[in-house]
Structure 1
Amino acid sequence: MNWHRLAAIVVKEARQMRRDRISLAMIVGIPVMQLLLFGYAINLNLRGLEAGIADQAGSAASRAAVMDMLATGVIAARAHAATPEQLMDMLRRGEISVGVAVPPDFERRLADGREAIQVLVDGSDTAVQNAAAQLAQMPLAPAPAPVAGEAAPGAPGDGPIRVVPFYNPERRSAVNIVPGLIGVILTMTMVMFTGMAIVRERERGNMELLITTPVTRTELMVGKVLPYALIGLVQTTVVLMLGLWLFQVPIRGSLADVYLAAVLLILANLSLGLLVSTMARSQFQAMQMTFFLFLPSMLLSGFMFPFAGMPAPAQWLAELLPLTHFLRLIRGVMLRGAGLWELWPEVLALLVFTALMMTAAILRFSKRLD
């Protein structure tokens, strides 16, 4: 081995990496991003769960009981309802994660040692279900002393607060994970495929042929997107079939709404991938940028870690990611049986994201080799 030639190759590679600004940024950016995300944004101790309150008793004792529950910090009042049925509607639409229902005969139930408050929980997120279970351990009042010769009121082990999980009472993790996997797979593949689309045309020399054709920028971009959209639908079908067959994951909502939600995410990710392809100079750079975008989507969207446990700045950043809104859509439709029209804020967010990314990609693309 000639050490002089080896040193020349090492110097050459070092200079090439220095000129590659994207690679240089990834070398420093990925560890910094992971440290910040895992150190500050990821929090498994859920606090401040969005809750709706339905106090049908309206007495001083019931208001004090609700205030005691809010004082624990586990829940935070975000809405008020007149009946438990309204709380259930809010849970289905994803407006709240927890509903506190106080019956009209609250004081009598409490005096008799019976169940006095029901805590309705969106059990589609097992982390939320586990956090809300802490409320069942909270005492509302001292238990009444039984009269001599009589049994204590209430069944053994019963408490004044009962936590009732919906949509996933068995706490099966697959019920929560499988719908989210649709979004994760579509995000990873769609952005990567289209992220290398324009770059591949340049590297293979096909851009010269496209320049000589009357194809416009918009036609080229939309034409790049449509074939991959079909691939995304095939992937969605595979995940749904395997989830139903292997893990018995329910589809409580409309199957058409499931596919419409998938189409919204597919278009959002394809438009983002096209924007990446106009910025990257090589397929390797496109893959690097895709990974750089995929990492925060995985960690901040609520797929791996509970969204409610993140600090406010991390939640603001997560609202900019299409996967965050898709997870709310797909879990709302598949697990809670909600319709897309009930989840219209998430639909609107994905449509706006798609329009902005596609417009930016079209404006950045030029049918010129320079």
Structure 2
Amino acid sequence: MRLANIWRLGIKELRSLWRDRMMVVLILWAFTGSVYVAATGIPETLNKAPIAIVDEDGSQLSQRIASAFYPPFFNPPAMIAQRDVDAAMDQGLYTFVLDIPPNFQRDLLAGRGPAIQLNVDATRMAQAFSGNAYVQRIIGTEVATFAARNGRTEALPADVAVRSRFNPNLTSLWFGAVMQVINHVTLLSIILTGAALIREREHGTVEHLLVMPVTPFEIMAAKVWSMGLVVLVATWFSLTLIVQGAMRVPIEGSVALFLLGAAAHLFATTSMGIFLGTFARSMPQFGLLVILTIVPLELLSGGSTPRESMPVFVQDVMLAAPTTHFVRLAQSILYRGADISVVWPQLLAILAIGAVFYAIALAQFRKAINTMA
């Protein structure tokens, strides 16, 4: 009877969700349009960065350097005077200002090792970080080519051969698309289960459940499996049709193994949604609780920033969060093609954390049910 009750209550939850059109629209958008927009909206390379050049040399080499900056990476360089540099930077007109000193070409050919000054507006973090390397590479290439044509060549003592594994072209679309799906698994599972509980309270159906021959365990288990199933199907749909189909992002590992890990993760996050739903008295209150919960879960899980770059205290605390292990499991499978022999520690950790979260949520849910009674 317990399994039958859990099954029937879960079907009731699915029907109730289907009648909530706004929630259905949210699920569809989160796993389709949101994934596509977020992934394609990340600039893959430097794009139309404003740059100005102070040419105090007026030589053939300085002209070659100035002509090497062109769209789409940079806007056409603006030639300005030295006295205008500070004012232009203060007004935020340029991200980069390149100052080529007098006699730069002559000193280079004489072997004196001249220097070029590059001023960077570091308040434009994205452009400053990636553009700095672009500018140095462009200048180095032009100077080396010019020096070689004029008989000055210096062989480097060693060469570095760079091979980027798992993402050879460093395409940010590959990372953004998959991580957006991973983040939505956590976000939607918490929202759906918590909203299902609050919807029961707002519609007055909790009182009906209290007089039925069902236990709090059965009510909670029904919400967990039904809402978890919705998120799991939406995740498979998004990975197959949006990520692999529309955006042509290669998935290296087994999607079935990833969905197994996602199901274990949903066991923990749906329990978390029930737990938050017992404290909230309305959807606005629940929304505030979700914000306070989901932001640290996603930012500190290692998906956006490597965990090794975080303080040791944060690393240790986040080991208690299921998202930390799920992000590592998902990236290992989807990016690096790992199998069960590699990700089983993360899978067990997620299941253990999920069991603890479920027990805590069930205790709080029983307490909330008794209060309503």
Q: What secondary structure is seen at the aligned counterpart in 2 of 1:357?
A: helix
TM-superposed deviation, 1:302 = 2.1
1:190 matched residue in structure 2: 189
2:245 matched residue in structure 1: 245
Cα distance in 1 for partners of 2:274, 2:206 equals 15
Cα distance in 1 for partners of 2:177, 2:243 equals 6
Please tell me the residue identity of whatever aligns with 2:176: I
TM-superposed deviation, 1:329 = 0.9
Please tell me the residue identity of whatever aligns with 1:354: G
Cα distance in 2 for partners of 1:180, 1:321 equals 17
Cα distance in 1 for partners of 2:184, 2:157 equals 44
**More off after superposition, 302-311 vs 352-361:** 302-311
TM-superposed deviation, 1:251 = 1.8
Cα distance in 2 for partners of 1:246, 1:313 equals 40
Larger radius of gyration: 2
Cα distance in 1 for partners of 2:190, 2:197 equals 12
2:278 matched residue in structure 1: 278
Please tell me the residue identity of whatever aligns with 1:237: W
Q: Show the 5 A alignment for 1:120-269.
A: 159=158, 161-240=160-239, 241-269=241-269
Q: What secondary structure is seen at the aligned counterpart in 1 of 2:163?
A: strand
TM-superposed deviation, 1:244 = 1.1
Please tell me the residue identity of whatever aligns with 2:297: S
1:318 matched residue in structure 2: 318
The 1:178/1:157 distance shift into structure 2, 3 A limit, reads farther
TM-superposed deviation, 1:200 = 2.3
The 1:341/1:280 distance shift into structure 2, 3 A limit, reads farther
TM-superposed deviation, 1:234 = 2.4
Please tell me the residue identity of whatever aligns with 1:197: A
For the 8 Å contact 2:274–2:365, the answer to whether it is kept is no
For the 8 Å contact 2:196–2:223, the answer to whether it is kept is yes
Cα distance in 2 for partners of 1:350, 1:221 equals 19
For residues 78-134 of structure 1, give each alpha carbon's deviation from its aligned partner in whole angstroms, at most 9, with x where no partner exists. xxxxxxxxxxxxxxxxxxxxxxxxxxxxxxxxxxxxxxxxxxxxxxxxxxxx9xx9x
Cα distance in 2 for partners of 1:318, 1:179 equals 21
Q: Which runs of 5+ in 2 are unaligned?
A: 1-129, 134-154
Cα distance in 1 for partners of 2:322, 2:157 equals 43
1:148 matched residue in structure 2: none
For the 8 Å contact 1:177–1:303, the answer to whether it is kept is no
Length-normalised TM-score, structure 1: 0.55
Percentage of matched positions with identical amino acids? 32
1:351 matched residue in structure 2: 351
Please tell me the residue identity of whatever aligns with 2:301: S
Please tell me the residue identity of whatever aligns with 1:225: V
Q: Which runs of 5+ in 1 are unaligned?
A: 1-129, 134-155
1:289 matched residue in structure 2: 289
Please tell me the residue identity of whatever aligns with 1:256: A
Number of residue pairs aligned between Structure 1 and Structure 2: 218
The 1:268/1:157 distance shift into structure 2, 3 A limit, reads farther
For the 8 Å contact 1:179–1:327, the answer to whether it is kept is no
1:364 matched residue in structure 2: 364
Q: Show the 5 A alignment for 1:30-109.
A: none
Q: What's the Cα RMSD here?
A: 2.3
Cα distance in 1 for partners of 2:257, 2:331 equals 11
Cα distance in 1 for partners of 2:364, 2:325 equals 26
Q: What secondary structure is seen at the aligned counterpart in 2 of 1:165?
A: coil
Length-normalised TM-score, structure 2: 0.54
Cα distance in 1 for partners of 2:363, 2:341 equals 32
For residues 292-343 of structure 1, give each alpha carbon's deviation from its aligned partner in whole angstroms, at most 9, with x where no partner exists. 1011022111222232221112222332222221111111111111113311
Please tell me the residue identity of whatever aligns with 2:270: L
